[in-house]
Amino acid sequence: GIRNLKDLEPSYCSHTAFIQYTKSSLKIKLNYYYIFFVKGNMRRHSFGVAFLFLLTTLLNVNAGFFSEPETLVTCGSIIKLQHSSTKYRLHSHEVAYGSGSGQQSVTSFEGSDDANSYWVVTGPNGGGCAQGTALKTGDVIRLQHMGTRKWLHSHLHKSPLSGNQEVSCYGGDTASDTGDHWKLDLDKASQWTKDSKMRLAHVDTGAYLGTHDKKFNRPIAGQQEVYAKKTKEHNGWWLATEGVYFPIPGSGNEEEL
C-alpha cells in the first residue's frame, strides 16, 4: 500500500497541490478522497489517480464557481498601482521637479515594499465618495499620496525626460482643484477590481497616465518618468496590487486584504 507522499506518482502530487488552493469547504470534501485513496489499504492506486485527475479537471472547468470573489477597489481603499508592462509602482516623495511646474515629482518605483507608493482612492473635489463605494468606467476619482497628503495632478507643463505632459503631486487635505481629477477607463471588468487592468484619463486635458523605461539620475536615480499622453497606448495600463481594500458595506467581506 501507499505509505507516504513519496510513493505517489508525480502526476498525483501535482493534482493534490492544485486542490490545496480551492475553497476550504471544498478542501474538506477532497481530503476525504485523499484519506480513502492514500491512506487506505490499496495495493494499486492507479484508480485513485485517475479519479482525482477527473475531479480536478471538473474543478478547473468550473473554476468560476469555486473561486473566491474578486476584490473590489472602492473609495477609501489604500492601494499601490503597478504599471502593467514595466511592473514599477506609481510613486511620489518630497522631491520637487527641477523644471516645469517645480511641484512635487511623481515617478514609478521598482520595489514593492516602499511606503511612498501608497495612494488613497477618493471621490472628486466637492463630490464625495463614501468608504466602500464600488467604482466603474467613467467614474471620476482623485488619488491622494498617503505619505505627503498631496494629490496626483497634471497640467500642460512638459514632463522632464520625454516632453510629454507633466504629472506631479499638488495641494493637500484642504487644497485641491480639477487638475487632480482622473477618470477610470477599465479594460474588461464592469467594476474596478484588484489585479485588473485599467487606465486613468486626466479630466482637464484628456491625457492618459503612463510610464516607461526612461529613468532619472540623482536624487531619484533609477526611478522611471511618469507622464500623461493624449493617445491610448500600452504604457497606459495599470493594476491595483498591494493595499487595504474596503468592502461594500453589508457585503459580508469585512476583512482586510
User: d(Cα 204, Cα 178) in Å, to the nearest integer?
Assistant: 7
User: d(Cα 16, Cα 244) in Å, to the nearest integer?
Assistant: 31
Determine contact, residues 239/81, Cβ cutoff 8 Å.
Answer: yes
Copy the grid coordinates of residue 191.
Answer: 467594476
For 40-53, the pLDDT digits (tens) are 444 444 444 454 44
pLDDT at 252: 62
Determine contact, residues 145/226, Cβ cutoff 8 Å.
Answer: no
Partner residues linked to 224 by β-bridges: 108, 215
Q: What is the mean pLDDT of each run of 10 residues along the chain (257 residues)?
A: 40 33 36 36 45 46 55 98 98 97 98 95 92 97 98 98 98 96 96 97 98 94 97 97 92 54
Regarding beta strands 182-186 and 224-229, do their DSSP bridges make them parallel or antiparallel, or are they unpaired? Answer: unpaired
Q: What are phi and psi of 158, to 5 degrees?
A: -85, 140
pLDDT at 24: 37
